[in-house]
Amino acid sequence: MGNDVSFSDLSLDVFGERLASAEPVPGGGSAAAVAGSLGAALAVMVARLSQDRPRYEAYGATHARVLAAGEAARVHFLELADEDAAAYHAFVLAQKMPRESEAAQTARRHALARAAHVATAAPLDTMRLCRTTIDLVEVLVGRSNVNASSDLDVAAYLLAAAAASAAANVRINLPPTGDPGFQATTEAEVADLLEGARLQEARIHRLVASGEAREAEPA
């Protein structure tokens, strides 16, 4: 975002206004990362609502682990929102490069390819972080405050949606890279991350619906 303020410093209203503006950034990639941050925040909330409660004492190690990792994820998602905006801004600038001559067209094409490569990084990292964070949500189900079980459902919905949304941003940036090998390996990872997130999301919803308590995680 250059010298602009970080999205993490904006109110939801101001961020929404920027998202709704005619400016190209923030866009879908940043929105996906913010959705992921909200999912991580809900996991942290549930861990906090479960800590130091006698009924859930056996799961204390799980609560502490999710709280620490979930809070780190929440912050990292917001950093990725900034990174996505900065990368796409660079892509927009490359699109505006002159193309009056053959040399200018070649320079522009190379700049677009480089910018497209960079523009895949933040949404792909967002997907990776969604995948690890949704695992944190899963371990809390049946091991946390039952009054907050629906919040785990919501966290799963948000993280799975964030992963799918980030995937769309990765995929749209692949063709301009002009790199078939990079496109193939990245697409394979995207598909794997999406499938894993979808399976974990479905498992979370099943576990929440069952309402059953689970054994503590192995030490």
In the prediction, which pLDDT does 3 show? 43
Q: Nearest 5°: CA angle at 48, between 45 and 52?
A: 160
Mean pLDDT of 16-35: 93
If one compares 1 and 138, the residue with the highest pLDDT of the two is: 138
In the prediction, which pLDDT does 1 show? 44
Mean pLDDT of 164-184: 96
What is the pLDDT of the chain when averaged over all its residues? 94
Q: How far is CA 141 from CA 136, 155, 205, in A?
A: 9, 11, 9
pLDDT 10s digits, 110-168: 988 899 989 999 999 999 999 999 999 999 999 999 999 999 999 999 999 999 999 99
Alpha-carbon span 117 to 93, nearest angstrom: 14
- Domains defined along the chain, listed by start: 7-210 (1.20.120.680)
| CA 158 and chain centroid, separation | 9
- The answer to whether the CB of 173 falls within 8 A of the CB of 115 is no
Mean pLDDT of 39-56: 97
Residue type, 114: R
Mean pLDDT of 42-53: 97
If one compares 153 and 99, the residue with the highest pLDDT of the two is: 153
Residue 52: is it exposed, middle or buried by C-beta count within 10 angstroms (0-12/13-18/19+)?
exposed
pLDDT at 188 over 80: yes
Residue 215: count of CB within 10 angstroms of its CB: 9
pLDDT at 169 over 70: yes
% pLDDT > 70, the chain: 98
pTM of the model: 0.92
In the prediction, which pLDDT does 4 show? 64
Mean pLDDT of 87-98: 86
The answer for residues whose C-beta is within 8 angstroms of residue 73's C-beta and 6 or more apart is 36, 37, 40, 129, 132, 133, 136
